[in-house]
Structure 1
Amino acid sequence: MTYPEDINADVSAGPALKVGVCIDFPIVDVHRPFLDGIRLAFDEAYAAGIIDRPARLIVKEAEGLPRGDANAVVRVWQELVDEGCVASIGPMISDNCLAVKEHMDTAAQTKIATLTWAGTDDQYNEYMFGFGNGSLPEEPFLIAESIADRGLKTVGVVFERAAPGYGYAENFADACRREGLEIVHSEGVGQVHRDMGATVANMMTRKPDALAYFGFGLPGVEMNAALSAAGWDPPRYMCAAFILCYVVPQYMTGLKGWIGVDQFDEENTVGAAMLSRFEKRFGYRQDNCVPTLAYDCGQGLALGIGHASTLTPMGVMRGLEKVKALPSATGGPGTRISFGKWNRRAWHGVDYLVMREINDDATGTRLVARFRR
């Protein structure tokens, strides 16, 4: 895929920063707000003097897991390194980030700071920084709290047979023990070839009070169809795969009925102001977490570059360690972005995760819950 030149600032007047963008999700609808969010952050940082030259975004795309090939993602990430990028935003999906981390640790001669949306804690090394679009360890506790607070006692679990699904399921079992919930059935499903009718039938034999789904998200719509065909409408909870309702148009209707983990909160005034500037700049608005996440990656990286003593991969990595208490456009009010030595996880503040559900008219979503106080 080629990207329009207007994603880049005017770099004709002098040197520019080479910033890599590694896109490993084949969802075309999300590319524009994702790139525009990054672009806005870097342009604002340049205008404010945080960085001393404009950024040139070098965009590479590969269809990684779950439907593609992790090696393809590793290959395009390495191309960004070879082209002299000082850092990379992406890859985004846990499976692919783990592959890039393994490549860094075993094969890459040069490493660059890599900012990801992956939710696994296994991704981190010296150069991997996480702007997790969710968290495999923490989302299950928010979901378990939400189920327990509703007075429900038993739950059926569906998880994808892949690293994120297994990680979610393990942490959800811990969360259920803490909340006094009983898991009456747990079933793994494939990421691409699925018989959700059989899975729903298996669940119905155990009659759980609620369902919980963990994975990348593609089976969610198929589960809704199977539930409808079976005439069963239990309360159902989904991990951060819920944000597919923002990035795949048909999923806003297809995921109705699910309550899911999200990172958009209307009460975050930093995010609201950023979205207003985004709309003024680009002529459209999306009230969801895709542009805010992209912007936060961009502003965090720009600040790290500004702190770098040298514009080299190591200099930028060390500069990111100096990013402290940066107000976040993503998550609830008060969420901050901080890094440090041995600290590669961006979000600080309990409400960087929230629960939302799709409105009755399927035109947007509404806030349902935050972590229990």
Structure 2
Amino acid sequence: MPSIFKIAPLALAASLVTPGASAQAQDQVVRIGVSGPLSGANAFAGKDNENGVRLAVEELNAQKLKAGGKLLRFELVSEDDQGDPKAGVNVAQKLADAGVKFVLGPYNSGVAIPASRVYNEAGMLMSTVGTNPKITQSRYPNVFRIVASDNQVGGSMAAYAARELKIKTVGVIDDRTAFGQGIAEEFAKQARASGLNVAGREFTNDKASDFAAILTAFRAKKVDAIFFGGYAPQGAPMARQMKQLGMANVRLLGGDTLCSPEMAKLGGDAVGDKVLCAQAGAMLDKQPGGPGFKQRYKQRFQREPDVYAPAFYDQTMFIAQAIKSTNTVDPAAVSKALHTMNYQGVAGTYGYDANGNLKKTAVTVYTFKNGALAPLASY
């Protein structure tokens, strides 16, 4: 008899926890990986991208979606690729080994190009904001570019410079990254096609802080504008040095990476209406879901979203919709669905061609007023 009384409480305890454990076992865990720079000069962008995915994951779990008869439980797995190609490849392998099937990122084109091969070989779905056209030229079926490419962004900035700003002579600088070179090349190509005189092509690197020699050379050529293919941590001091060198009336033009609050934060009063950038997507505030997203993001993270948080959020939601539509978490099936479906996100409408590029996307040109982005025109 004593032995019976000893066993009974254990049996009772087991009966109490079994239903919950069984329910948990029935959950289908969907790991959403994020690859981006969480350290270094562009950590602000990496964290912003991660926050976009985090917000989506939290909202999806609240929706209690199902696929294959199981409740879906989304988990965020974020890794620091340092904005470095070698580290990005290591992160890709690490995420593959962890059983992650869906990855948002990388942020940098130079990381996305080699990492895409790893993700493709592992059968994983990769969604990047890397804008270099080479990323999708391999035509990997599971690779998607969730924003406009360099030829769209760089081309739009060149067209705006020619038509609206009446620029005649422009100098071009790039930071020798895959992103910087790609967007500078597309800008220069479109600038020449639009009748602009490209006075010269110079280069720096993504760790530089002194641009006096390059800027002085362009000042001697009497350029009306300088296009910089690179990131905000170099763009901001470049704007400051242009002002110091008496080039306050020379416009500094750039792509989406200059459309960041970090520009004004680092550049101070040198970042004003003479600094213009082109960013993929329509004006967020003009989109039906844009203001609501900004409000939820700020409430959750106590800060405004940066450049790509809306796109990372949207693509995570689009992947979830494709999972629900196909009733499976198989990346290959989800990828096929993404190629055929359309999704209305907070930043615009998403739909992909056979190469994984957006079928249609707007590009918006911005300037800075009182330290904040101010839209000028959408193409």
Q: Same fold (TM over 0.5)?
A: yes
Cα distance 1:25–1:287, how it changes in 2: closer, same or farther (>3 A)?
A: closer
Cα distance 1:296–1:200, how it changes in 2: closer, same or farther (>3 A)?
A: same
Q: Which amino acid aligns with 1:20?
A: G
Distance (Å, rounded) in 1 between the aligned partners of 2:268 and 2:309 = 17
Residue 116 of structure 1 corresponds to 128
Cα distance 1:303–1:313, how it changes in 2: closer, same or farther (>3 A)?
A: same
Q: Percent identity?
A: 19
* Pairwise CA RMSD: 2.7
Alignment deviations for residues 174-203 of structure 1 (CA, whole Å, 9 cap, x no partner): 211332111122212222246410001110
* 1:251 Cα offset (Å): 4.9
Structure 1 ranges of 4+ moved more than 6 A: none
What TM-score does the superposition give when structure 2 sets the normalisation length? 0.81
Structure 1 unaligned residues grouped into runs of 5+: 1-10
Whether 1:57 aligns to 2:76 is yes
Cα distance 1:165–1:31, how it changes in 2: closer, same or farther (>3 A)?
A: closer
The structure with the greater share of residues assigned to helix is 2
Distance (Å, rounded) in 1 between the aligned partners of 2:269 and 2:200 = 27
Residue 352 of structure 2 corresponds to 339
* 1:237 Cα offset (Å): 1.1
Distance (Å, rounded) in 2 between the aligned partners of 1:138 and 1:25 = 27
Q: Which amino acid aligns with 2:225?
A: A
2:339 to 321, 328, 335: 321
Whether 1:366 aligns to 2:379 is no
Alignment deviations for residues 320-356 of structure 1 (CA, whole Å, 9 cap, x no partner): 33432x11322xxxx310125x14123623x2x2111
Whether 1:237 aligns to 2:253 is yes
* 1:16 Cα offset (Å): 2.0
* 1:244 Cα offset (Å): 3.6
Contact kept, 8 Å, 1:25 with 1:92, in 2: the verdict is no
What TM-score does the superposition give when structure 1 sets the normalisation length? 0.82
* 1:30 Cα offset (Å): 4.5
Q: Which has the larger radius of gyration?
A: 2
Q: Which amino acid aligns with 1:370?
A: S
2:72 partner SS? coil
* 1:116 Cα offset (Å): 0.6
Distance (Å, rounded) in 2 between the aligned partners of 1:15 and 1:338 = 26
Tell me the matched-pair count.
342
Contact kept, 8 Å, 1:136 with 1:167, in 2: the verdict is yes
Alignment of 1:149-298 (within 5 A): 149-193=164-208, 195-233=210-248, 234-246=250-262, 249-251=265-267, 255-256=271-272, 257-262=274-279, 263=281, 264-279=283-298, 282=300, 284=302, 286=304, 288-298=306-316
* 1:254 Cα offset (Å): 6.0
Q: Which amino acid aligns with 2:177?
A: A
Between 22-31 and 234-243, report the one with greater CA deviation.
22-31
Cα distance 1:285–1:245, how it changes in 2: closer, same or farther (>3 A)?
A: closer
